[in-house]
Amino acid sequence: MFPVNYVRAKSLKHAVEQLAANPDAKLLAGGMTLLPTLKQRLARPSHLIDIGALRALRAIKRSRDKLSIGAGVRHYEVAASALVREAIPALAYLAGQIGDPQVRNLGTIGGSVANNDPAADYPAAVLGLAATILTNRRRIKAQDYFQGMFATALEDGEIITRIVFPLPKKAAYEKFRHPASGYAMTAVFVAVTGRGVRVAVTGAGPGVFRWTKAERALGKHLAPEAVEKLSVDAQAMNEDMHASREYRANLVNVMTRRAVAKL
């Protein structure tokens, strides 16, 4: 590591002030992505502004038709929350599938959504459920928020405060895990909402995306067979040492059918 100034934020206002006063500062939440990045010298912030202890970011609340999760809520808390399990069981299941117990005990939903790793789990639920990302400045719809690999609509100094999920009629998540990290080689979140079926795919392409062809087919016939003959463009998928484009494209179809069967 290299010398860095550590500031434990006392409030959201304090964190905002610290970011404004130090242009090269970075927020620190669970540190599960940021600390390895620092160790590898891929980032060299002047300050780490630790928001991990802010109670204001730790609430989970449910209203008649929405579930609100604070940015600082940890993955294990989402997985174990009775409110989440009752309101959107697929979201609790998804959180329980992230990484390993150590990662789930420290990693936060806000950190994951801010980071927008193309193989992360939460982006599939955020887009699949048409959630809204609330920051210290504004509300951002999921469709406008995700902008490709590690890219989001967040501006400098902007802090995610909570994520609000409309409650679906039903939803399911299926992931093909990388056996070492747990990250999604490909994973699919399917939600049946009052406005139709939504299918969001993570891990397969450069960023989370909706598979609209499958959404239309499932809107007519909500069964795994409805998507059996459909495919995504393999050339638009990611290829790396773990899987080819064609393999990931095939997984999109398989994971979608599994999620629909689970519904």
Ligand X SMILES: Cc1cc2nc3c(=O)[nH]c(=O)nc-3n(C[C@H](O)[C@H](O)[C@H](O)COP(=O)(O)OP(=O)(O)OC[C@H]3O[C@@H](n4cnc5c(N)ncnc54)[C@H](O)[C@@H]3O)c2cc1C
Point out which residues bind ligand X (CB under 6 A): 26-34, 71, 98-99, 103, 106-108, 110-112, 114-115, 117, 120-122, 159-160, 181-183
- What's the closest the beta carbon of residue 185 comes to ligand X, in angstroms? 10
Residue 67 or 69: the one with the smaller Cβ distance to ligand X is 69
Residue 208 or 252: the one with the smaller Cβ distance to ligand X is 208
- What's the closest the beta carbon of residue 86 comes to ligand X, in angstroms? 23
- What's the closest the beta carbon of residue 108 comes to ligand X, in angstroms? 3
Residue 11 or 181: the one with the smaller Cβ distance to ligand X is 181
Kindly list the distances between the CA atom of residue 153 and the CA atoms of 142, 160, 176, 202, in Å, as whole numbers in the listed order: 10, 11, 28, 18
Q: According to DSSP H, which parts of the chain are helical?
A: 12-21, 34-39, 75-80, 82-87, 89-96, 101-106, 109-115, 122-128, 142-145, 212-220, 245-262
- What's the closest the beta carbon of residue 23 comes to ligand X, in angstroms? 14
Residue 31 or 219: the one with the smaller Cβ distance to ligand X is 31
CA torsion 70-75-80-86 (nearest 10°) is 60
Measured distance CA(212)–CA(34) in Å, rounded: 33
